[in-house]
A and B are shown apart, each in its own frame.
Chain A
Amino acid sequence: MNKSGDADHDGSTCVLRARGLRKEYGKAAGLVRAVDGVSLDVDAGQALAVMGPSGCGKSTLLHLLGGLDRPTDGELYLAGQRIDQMGERALARLRRDAIGFVFQAFHLMDELTAVENVELPALLAGRSARAARQRASGLLEQVGLADRASFLPSALSGGQRQRVAVARALANDPLVVLADEPTGNLDSQATLEVLRLFDSLHEAGQTLVVVTHDSRIAATADRLISMRDGAFVDETRLNGGTTGHLGALAGLEG
């Protein structure tokens, strides 16, 4: 497993690279290896899903990949730059400028409108108010919510809130979007909205990493990695041709 990136030693197309990533909590008998030696290469434009039951370490892994948490051991590179030993301030800046986060619980600011939420990361990155607003409006249009720009999150449906959160994640043109269970709080129809949005981002060349236990979103990735007990146990490539079994699945043939 995970030999896919070994051929490309220059790292030219590899956006995210992990080697022997480990995260431990506790000590001695209480030691928990939440992430236990994960190596991974995510190429530019790739959509990768990590799937596994709750407690398998996938959220911890995503936090490590996004620099929200420090690994106990191992190496992590973003666009060829090693980030696991980076100073706190530099890392915070990198998170803001180069990584987009999407969470299960949306994490929108309740007192800000949709467009204000989306423009916030650009303002924090030092862009002018005008440029930030322009970018935010464009992103809301991209996620199909131009007519909800002045709504507070409380006036939006779950699916709409998550689409605002995705727009916010894109505010600074991140190298990679990291999503933790993005459909976890959504019903079937809202899930479909978010899946369509992720699909359009993927089509547009955005690099995506999603950790989830929802097989629907996982099945729309290029690569799906199964995770158990902190380690990768299997990988499914999903970017090949169709199986041709849809009709049979519906009971129409065979």
Chain B
Amino acid sequence: MQQEVVLAMLAKEPSHGYQLRARLQLALGPLGDAMNAGQIYVTLARLEKAGLVECERAAGLADRPDRKMYALTAAGQQRVAGWLTEVSWPKPDLAEFHLKLIAAAAAGLADPISIVDAQRRELLRRLRDAQRAAMAEPDRSAAGLLLEGIVLRLQADLRWLEACERNWTGRRDPS
């Protein structure tokens, strides 16, 4: 699990680890089943060590990770804000982008539509590069076939962004 995803899930409000896990499972559906509880706590411990997260323990209770309440530090908030606006493709990580939109909407940190817009602008620039290269190839060239594959993939990504935009238009939080 990417650290920023866990961080972003905390952006809405300080939470227990199991609450974060529930939020991720809601967002990922069957894809979240593989995620075990330990993973979240390992990530949270790392984030705490890095100064991005701070935690509070309820007084008088045993020192167990599931009793702790986690919150973002100022540095953690900064990291989330940066992650939300950064464009992460060409390695298309659909789940990461999906969670980004959900976290942005839930925490009210950024408008999901403007994240989609930024992503689309970047993908279109890459599509332009691939399309230009494809147009410069002679018919039936081997490289042209590879470029066609890149173009088709980018088109598929752009169509998914259209679906993202439809979904997030006029709503804030999916839950």
Chain A: residues with CB nearer than 8 A to chain B?
53, 188-189, 192, 195-196, 199, 215-216, 218-220, 224, 226, 228, 233-234, 236, 238, 240, 242-243, 245-246, 248-250, 254
Contacts and interface: CB of A to CB of B under 8 A. Distances in A.
A219 B134 CA distance: 12
B130 A246 contact: yes
10 contacts: A192-B135, A199-B135, A215-B127, A215-B155, A219-B127, A220-B135, A236-B120, A236-B121, A238-B124, A242-B129
Interface of B: 90-91, 117, 120-122, 124-135, 139, 146, 148-151, 153-155, 158, 162, 165, 169
Contacts of A219: 124, 127-128, 131
A248 B151 contact: no
A243 B122 contact: yes
B126 A192 contact: no
Contacts of B162: 53
B124 A249 contact: no
A195 B135 contact: yes
Nearest to B114: A234
A216 B132 CA distance: 10
Contacts of A243: 122, 125-126, 129
Given A234-B117, A242-B129, A249-B90, 16 more contacts: A53-B162, A192-B135, A195-B135, A215-B158, A216-B127, A219-B124, A219-B127, A219-B128, A226-B120, A234-B121, A240-B125, A243-B122, A243-B126, A250-B146, A254-B90, A254-B91
